[in-house]
Structure 1
Amino acid sequence: MTLLSSTYGKGRVRVMRVAGEGEGEGAWREVRELDVRAMLTGDIDRAFTRADNSTTVSTDTIKNVVNVVARENLDAGAERFCRAVAERLLASYAGMATATVSARETRWNRLAVDGKPHPHAFTRDGNGFGTAEVVMDRSGGRVSSGVSDFTFLKATESGWAGYVKDPYTTIPETHDRIAATAMEATWRWERDPADFAAANARVLDTMLAVFAETYSHSVQDSLYRMAKAALDAVPELDTVSLACPNKHYLPVNLAPFGLSADNRVFTATDEPHGQIECTVGR
């Protein structure tokens, strides 16, 4: 039997790059999130046919190359980033003949608050969908509106500190992290607004402005204040219920390569995630 072709590499290398200058409330950030696949061909056949790994580069090493190139190319678009990774792989490993690097980009649109672009808050392109529900019996009915899978993030001005610490605790405190979530939200109407569409837009805009414009001590802290602001802004509301997974972007450890991640390069994780839920009423 003959090995007709062979390739290998690393898939689903999810990397978030954060570019920009300044610190604190007005810090300007650009975010680029890619799902990268890097595949190699070359002098690798013996790993398949002879159980000989002596010419094979670890796929974990390929992942590390992607992250190092990410730190060195914070602003590069997807095409230039893929080219930079491919060039680095071929320059680093003489036994490789080709490097095929592809990427899918999660597009983030800069959030506008009061018509002005926010410096470090974003919503996902093609974001979520609206929901409505009516529960009715012979005595009357209740109407709820909401959004599902509405995804947004802020690239700074968020922290997690002062929590319970015991022998099971491993996560370190931080005062500067990415806060991101895909929100399931419903708000129940005490009475009908004059215009459901306009009122729903006001609820969402109000909550996003609170998220973007204020420091987040936790997702819990932000959700309560977002819901409270929505109730204050729209008097026809009775309750606001929010369920938000804490979508984690974890800083990549680049110290082994002589680089500091410096809250600029992150890996995205979906599971496990924090699940934060609350209902706020009058």
Structure 2
Amino acid sequence: MPLIKNRYGKGRVRVMRIHRDGDRHEVSQLSIKAMMEGDFARAYTRADNSTSVATDTIKNIVNVVARENTGLCTEEFCQVLAKRYLDTYPQIASVAISAHETKWRRLSFGGKPHPHSFVLDNNGRPFVEVAAARVGPSTLASGIDGFAFMKSTQSGWENYPRDRYTTLPETADRMCATSMVASWKWSGKPSNYPAANTKIMDTVLEVFSTTYSMSVQDSLYRMGEAALAAVPEISEISMACPNMHFIPMNLSAFGLDNNNDVFLPTDEPHGQIECTVGRG
């Protein structure tokens, strides 16, 4: 029976590029699908893999081209990537590249754009929780679920216990990102709830973005302290922050360094950091 059509490749190749222009960073997080057509029929009909490029190799080329082209926009990057496949493998007749971008928006404080801190576009779902009864006090809490933010530097994880089960190296410079669930309890009525909610979020983001983080735990506590100081009408704030990991890619096999420029985005498994900060 004839093999009518075939193609193959690699899907959901996730890559984060950081382009550094002095202190200012540009970030580009992509999920890429690269599909090839060409002289591959024998792998299907004759169990002959001699012309088939391994899909793991297809993935590696994404990371190599990402490291070599940190500053290209998505359109230019995909064109360069397609050309690399065609230039490298003569058995490829055509290549189809699709890339979906996760958009990160630069934060600003005091009207000044921050060089390396970002929030996710279309970010978070605000919520309110009320508990009321005929007898006894009622409670009111506001919050936000799935609010993602990150910074591309000014975060570390060092001086933790090490034993025979420990494999994670210490670092004083890493990406730090999370998708936060936060809620705060009202002990008084502000003049304007939406404005107070905005002030809480602006405050925690500014603390996160503008101070060095010894750990997510360190940042969360200081964010909570600042929120309580900024809005006296709340009695406590709770934050749960699963890490959004960006794992540096090891490109040494291709003769390339990786000076915190190319990362694998992943959120499973993740560290789960939680705390509640209240008034004494």
Normalising by the residue count of structure 1, what TM-score does the alignment of the two structures yield?
0.97
Q: Deviations over 1:62-97 (max 9, x none)?
A: 111000100111111111111111100010111111
Find the counterpart in structure 2 of residue 215 from structure 1.
Answer: 212
> SS in structure 2 opposite 1:88?
helix
Q: Which residue of 1 aligns with 2:20?
A: 20
1:2 deviates by: 1.6
Match of 1:167 in 2: 164
User: Where does structure 2 lack aligned partners over 5 or more consecutive residues?
Assistant: none
Could you tell me which residue of structure 2 aligns to residue 279 of structure 1? 276
User: Could you tell me how far 1:114 is from its partner in structure 2?
Assistant: 1.9
1:118 paired with 2:114, answer: yes
State the shift of 1:50 in Å. Answer: 1.5
Quote the offset at 1:21 in angstroms.
3.3
* Alignment coverage as a number of residue pairs: 278
Question: What secondary structure, in the 3-state scheme, does the structure 1 residue paired with 2:131 have?
Answer: strand
Aligned residue in 1 for 2:9: 9
Q: Which residue of 1 aligns with 2:78?
A: 82
AA aligned to 2:249 is V
Alignment pair present for 1:36 and 2:32: yes
| Cα distance in 2 for residues equivalent to 1:60 and 1:269 | 18
Tell me the distance in 1 between the aligned counterparts of 2:73 and 2:113. Answer: 21
Counterpart of 2:195 in structure 1 is 198
The CA distance in 2 between the partners of 1:171 and 1:49, in whole Å, is 45
By how many angstroms is 1:51 displaced?
Answer: 1.4
What code does the residue aligned with 1:47 have?
Answer: A
1:149 and 2:130 are equivalent in the alignment: no
- State the alpha-carbon separation in 1 of the partners of residues 220 and 49 from structure 2: 51
- Secondary structure of residue in 2 paired with 1:200: helix
> Which residue in 2 is equivalent to 1:264?
261
Report % sequence identity.
55
2: CA distance, partners of 1:241 / 1:261 = 36
The match for 2:123 is 127
Q: 1:5 is paired with a residue of what secondary structure?
A: coil
TM-score, normalised by the number of residues in structure 2: 0.98
> Cα distance, 1:124 vs. partner?
0.7
Cα distance, 1:140 vs structure 2: 2.5
Residue of 226, 231, 236 corresponding to 2:228? 231
Amino acid at match of 2:67: R
Structure 1 portions without partners, runs of 5+? none
Asked whether 1:55 is paired with 2:51, we answer yes
- Kindly state the Cα deviation for residue 172 of structure 1 after the two structures are TM-superposed: 0.5
- Partners of 1:132 and 1:115 lie apart in 2 by 29
- Do residues 93 (structure 1) and 109 (structure 2) align? no
Q: Tell me the alpha carbon deviations over residues 126-167 of structure 1, each in whole angstroms, 9 at most, x when there is no partner.
A: 111211111111223111001111111001001111111111
1:46 paired to 2:46: no
Alignment partners' CA distance in 2, 1:13 and 1:243: 28
4+ residue runs of structure 1 moved beyond 3 angstroms?
A: none
